[in-house]
Amino acid sequence: MFSQRIMANLYIAIGAVLTNKIRSLLTALGIIFGVAAVIAMLAIGNGAQQEILAQIKLVGVNNIVIKPIIEQEEEKIAESTGGKKEKKKFSPGLTVRDLNSIKHTIPGITKISPEIILNTYVIRTGVRRSAKLVGVNPSYFDIYNFELYQGKHFSEEQLKIGAPVCLIGSAIKSKFFPTEDPIGKTIKVGPHWLTIVGVLKERLVSKNSISKLGIRDFNMDIYAPLQTVLVRYRNRDVISAEALRKEAQKSGGMVVIIGGNTEDESDEQQAESKNYHQLDRLVIQVDETEKLQSVAEIISRMLTRRHYEVVDFEIEIPELLLKQQQRTNDIFNYVLGAIAGISLLVGGIGIMNIMLASVLERIKEIGLRLSIGAQKSDVVQQFLFEAVMISVSGGLIGVVLGVTLAYLVSAFAGIPTIISFTSILLSFGVAATVGLIFGIAPARRAASQDPITSLRHE
């Protein structure tokens, strides 16, 4: 009997909603746009979070990055006494010896990767393109999560003797080997020919990530063993005849050079000649995030001492930048969620207002139902059912609209979006709850009507 009464009240509520389709649709608009906003905004926020996680993989997790500071002049004013200029103190720069010292002295380091980055050119079959030659060791590919597309990594023997081999990025393969397998073939990198032993998978790096995080376009890089670059290309830790000749010219002395290069250098070569650091970058991976700051401080003190109190290096912790970016993204999500929540609140208030107006319009109907035996609970159920039906139907339409908006934003604005089942369930549940809560007051007001007075109402 009780269930029959509920079904009867539900049937009456459905009839009332269908009779006033336009009014019901206008009532549901607030819920529709509120639910759509929640789904679309959460999809955008999830997409942004996914992009940040991808950036974390690019710069590495728990990494400390050491970069050399390259002075634009060999002499600078350190102190000025009586108009005299003092030369800058001597420093050996960032070298492999620093790498070994850090590796064998400081605990808690899981991987350490040195890099030598040279601007060069690549030639094959008459095609020449500028590129970067990067001297690395195997830890580099582990730290930056590089995966092989084909071929294999450097062997221990190749790393030890500095063999003329290399790994190439996907863009190098596309430009120089568009229709053939590059494995085992040679390519001229600068003045030397290198044999390709592997091709790396494509890394999708946005221009925004490149500019903000200082990430290179890895797909256009060529990777050779560190020893290969030191032996066959450039080792700034070794004093060359050319460096002695330039120093003699600047100091006004005379040094006899046999086989020295007397050709004019380009601006890029001149800038390179001012770089006395053997390594261009040193990436250190720490086993625990909590140790990052303390290990960075220890490394800073160690390098300062080894460089004779000359601070010609800088230490960065990319995770701090990423954490700040993640916090910005969280704030962005909170703001968007608040806006969407306000939309749902406005929709709920709209339902309450329309339902209150509906009570005034249907006083005679309410009085008639009460006079023929309906209980007050029946009237309450009828109006609650109407409010919930409007909010649920509005929620369903809002879900479809929100999913559509997320796909449109991703397609036309280029912003990554990820639609989760949780966001759909949350928004739909909130919509149904809003209809239930804001339908209580109109339902109670309808049930409190006096039957006789209601029948007389015009």
CA pair distance 244, 376, nearest whole angstrom: 103
Quick check: pTM over 0.75?
Answer: no
Could you tell me which residue, 240 or 112, shows the higher pLDDT? 112
What is the pLDDT, as a whole number, of residue 391? 80
Average of per-residue pLDDT across 112-136? 90
Domain ranges of the chain: 2-55+324-456, 70-236+275-311
Task: Report the b/e string of 322-337 with b at 16+ CB within 10 A.
Answer: beebbeeeeeebeebe
User: pLDDT confidence of 345, banded at 50, 70, 90?
Assistant: confident
User: pLDDT confidence of 6, banded at 50, 70, 90?
Assistant: confident
Least confident of 13-17, 213-217, 294-298, 351-355: 213-217
Position 7, amino acid? M
CA pair distance 411, 425, nearest whole angstrom: 24
Which residues, in sequence order, are bridge partners of residue 84? Answer: 81
Least confident of 58-67, 141-150, 297-306: 58-67
What is the pLDDT, as a whole number, of residue 184? 92
Mapping DSSP to helix (H, G, I), strand (E, B) and coil, where does residue 256 land?
coil
316 φ, ψ to 5°? Answer: -120, 145
What is the pLDDT, as a whole number, of residue 262? 37
336 φ, ψ to 5°? Answer: -65, -40
Written as six digits, the tokens of 249 are 């010219």
* pLDDT, tens digit, 9 for 90 and up, residues 48-73: 767 766 666 555 667 888 999 876 54
Helices 376-408 and 363-371 cross at an angle (nearest 10°) of 140
What is the pLDDT, as a whole number, of residue 260? 39
State the Rg of the chain over Cα: 36
DSSP H or E stretch at residue 191: none
**Cα 261 versus chain centre, distance:** 47
DSSP H or E stretch at residue 199: strand 192-200
Instruction: Determine contact, residues 402/40, Cβ cutoff 8 Å.
Output: yes
- Chain position carrying tokens 């609209």: 401
CA pair distance 91, 109, nearest whole angstrom: 25
User: pLDDT confidence of 134, banded at 50, 70, 90?
Assistant: very high
Instruction: Determine contact, residues 190/206, Cβ cutoff 8 Å.
Output: no
What is the pLDDT, as a whole number, of residue 144? 81
* pLDDT, tens digit, 9 for 90 and up, residues 33-51: 878 877 887 888 777 767 7
Written as six digits, the tokens of 396 are 């369903």
Least confident of 280-284, 402-406, 445-449: 445-449
DSSP H or E stretch at residue 444: helix 421-447
* pLDDT, tens digit, 9 for 90 and up, residues 226-285: 999 999 998 888 876 665 565 555 555 444 444 434 333 444 455 555 778 889 989 998
What is the pLDDT, as a whole number, of residue 80? 44
Which residues, in sequence order, are bridge partners of residue 65? Answer: 283, 316
Could you tell me which residue, 373 or 278, shows the higher pLDDT? 278
Whether 25 has a pLDDT exceeding 50, the answer reads yes
Percentage of residues of the chain with pLDDT beyond 70: 70
What is the pLDDT, as a whole number, of residue 300? 92
* pLDDT, tens digit, 9 for 90 and up, residues 168-198: 998 899 899 988 899 999 999 999 999 999 9
Position 242, amino acid? E
CA pair distance 354, 20, nearest whole angstrom: 12
What is the pLDDT, as a whole number, of residue 163? 93
Helices 2-19 and 376-408 cross at an angle (nearest 10°) of 50
Whether 86 has a pLDDT exceeding 60, the answer reads no
User: pLDDT confidence of 409, banded at 50, 70, 90?
Assistant: confident
CA pair distance 386, 12, nearest whole angstrom: 9
Mapping DSSP to helix (H, G, I), strand (E, B) and coil, where does residue 267 land?
helix
CA pair distance 115, 224, nearest whole angstrom: 10
Which residues, in sequence order, are bridge partners of residue 193? Answer: 188
User: pLDDT confidence of 133, banded at 50, 70, 90?
Assistant: very high
Q: Which residues contact 5 (CB under 8 A, 6 or more apart)?
A: 378
User: pLDDT confidence of 451, banded at 50, 70, 90?
Assistant: low
